[in-house]
Amino acid sequence: MLQTVVEACQKKRQCKFQVTAKALSGGGAMDDICPGSSKFVEVAYKCRPFEFRSKVACEDETTELRCGSHARIAIYSASFGRTEYESIQCPQPQGVPEETCLVSYATETAMQMCHGKRKCVLNANAATFGNPCKQESRMYLKVVYTCGEYSKIVVLRENCTTLEVLRLSVISGTIL
What domains, with CATH codes, occur in the chain? 1-43 (no CATH), 53-148 (2.60.120.740)
Element (H, E) at 153: strand 140-156
Which range, 25-34, 39-48, 62-71, has the best average confidence (pLDDT)?
A: 62-71
Residues 61, 126: contact at Cβ < 8 Å? no
Q: What is the pLDDT of residue 142?
A: 96
Q: What is the pLDDT of residue 4?
A: 72
Whether this prediction's pTM lies above 0.75 is answered by: no
Average pLDDT of span 49-71: 91
- Residue 163's contacts (CB-CB under 8 Å, 6 or more residues apart) are 154, 155, 157
Q: What is the pLDDT of residue 73?
A: 92
Average pLDDT of span 69-97: 90
Give the integer Cα–Cα distance in Å for 109 and 55.
Answer: 15
Give the integer Cα–Cα distance in Å for 147 and 79.
Answer: 19
Higher pLDDT, 1 or 12: 12
Query: Which of 20-29, 33-42, 135-144 has the weakest average pLDDT?
Result: 20-29
Helices (H), 42-171: 106-114, 126-129
